[in-house]
Amino acid sequence: MNFDALDLNTVWFLLIGVLFTGYAMLDGFDLGVGALHLFTKTDEERRVMLNAIGPVWDGNEVWLVTGGGALFAAFPNVYATVFSGFYLAFVLLLVALIFRAVAIEFRSKQPMRWWRQMWDIGFSAGSILSSLLIGVAMGNIAWGIPLDERGEFAGTFWSLLHPYSLLLGVTTLALFTMHGAIYALLKTAGPLHDRLRGWVRNGMIFFIVCYAVTTMATLLYVPHMAARMRAHPWLFSLALANLLAIANIPREIHHGRDGRAFLSSCAALVTLMGLFGLEMFPNLVFSNPDPTHSLTIRNAASSAKTLGIMLWIAITGVPLVISYTVCIYWIFRDKVKLDRMSY
């Protein structure tokens, strides 16, 4: 089989989108559980929260690693421009991710109160900061960043922190927090579960307010995204699906169907990422103020040969990944019961 008939650049735009969407959907709830971690009171509750994500957080983070690798391979210019341009922001993101990861592993290995509190804070702060920074990065990509004629970033660290990107940072945090709270609902029982219901409600309100503000801000201030929507009216159906998915979350929660609420939350994340990606297309990095310097699926891509090889790798690898990811979620499908293997 060869891929001559396919537009490989478009295929890889979509596949990178799939990888980052997978990351947002899966690690999103890990980060959300982390953001909620300090709201829990007793040590046992905190352990339950940690073990809710215990067997899966590691695999979920691999979606980011693989997404990064795929971006490097398929669109090296985007990888180079964004990573070097967002230097300090990404270093902070790395430090936040490190703290979050090791805190999960370290925390319950010692009984001292100060020890556990230190790593509790590390876990929670790392999760919150990661969510915010991921959102800020998305906000900048949506808003556009200044690029010079070589496609290099021409701004500074501080120029990345404008109101729109910060708004997206907060929205991402809200989305992940809601998503994580619903996931935690599935994994807990008893009083913690009942209190989580309240947090889910607050999380939904927090997210829906942010979502409304972000949508308005995007329509008003990010004309290039709205323009694509007008040019391709079928995108409205995706926006509608997104709206329905979000609206369905409170409905399912109200009826106590937590599993379906979680699926709706996943659907909301997928459609949001879909909208984001398709409104950017064919740009990967939009250059603002001079759109002619934008990095697109054409001028930033690797050769057709590499994209073809990578597609083979994806076709072989992704079904394997999905099959054993499903197995592992299945093995650990029960609510959390602490035992001596637990964190």
**61 touches other proteins (CB under 8 A):** yes
Site map 298..327 versus other proteins, x via CB under 8 A: ----xx-xx--xx--xx--xx-xx--xx-x
Q: State the minimum distance, in angstroms, from the CB of residue 17 to other proteins.
A: 15
**85 touches other proteins (CB under 8 A):** yes
| Burial grade of 176 (CB within 10 A; 0-12, 13-18, 19 or more) | buried
Sole window of 127-135, 146-154, 160-168, 202-210 interacting with other proteins (rule: CB under 8 A): 146-154
Sole window of 80-88, 247-255, 267-275, 283-291 interacting with other proteins (rule: CB under 8 A): 80-88
The tokens describing 119, both together, are 């790593």
Nearer to other proteins, 106 or 281 (CB): 106
Q: State the minimum distance, in angstroms, from the CB of residue 68 to other proteins.
A: 5
Sole window of 61-69, 173-181, 206-214, 267-275 interacting with other proteins (rule: CB under 8 A): 61-69
Note the maximum CA span of the chain.
Answer: 62
Question: Which residues in 156-195 contact other proteins (CB under 8 A)?
Answer: 157
Of 233, 234, 268, 222, give the one whose Cα is nearest residue 248: 268
| Burial grade of 174 (CB within 10 A; 0-12, 13-18, 19 or more) | buried
Among 6, 14, 38, 62, binds other proteins (CB under 8 A): 62
**153 touches other proteins (CB under 8 A):** yes
Question: Which residues in 214-243 contact other proteins (CB under 8 A)?
Answer: none
Q: State the minimum distance, in angstroms, from the CB of residue 271 to other proteins.
A: 25
Phi-psi region of 85 (alpha: psi -120 to 50; beta: other; left: phi over 0): alpha
**73 touches other proteins (CB under 8 A):** yes
State in Å, rounded, how far the first CA of the chain is from the last one.
47
3-state secondary structure of 277: helix
| Burial grade of 76 (CB within 10 A; 0-12, 13-18, 19 or more) | middle
* Count of alpha carbons within 13 angstroms of residue 185, beta-carbon side: 26
Nearer to other proteins, 231 or 331 (CB): 331
Among 66, 177, 188, 214, binds other proteins (CB under 8 A): 66
Site map 15..54 versus other proteins, x via CB under 8 A: ---------------------------------------x
Angle subtended by helix axes 223-231 and 258-280, to nearest 10: 90
Find the helix or strand (DSSP H, E) in which 280 lies.
Answer: helix 258-280
Of 37, 10, 19, 47, give the one whose Cα is nearest residue 343: 47
Nearer to other proteins, 114 or 234 (CB): 114
Partners of 287 in beta bridges? 145
Pairing of strands 283-285, 295-296: antiparallel
Among 7, 10, 41, 109, binds other proteins (CB under 8 A): 109
Nearer to other proteins, 3 or 72 (CB): 72
Nearer to other proteins, 49 or 104 (CB): 104
Sole window of 60-68, 195-203, 234-242, 261-269 interacting with other proteins (rule: CB under 8 A): 60-68
**69 touches other proteins (CB under 8 A):** yes
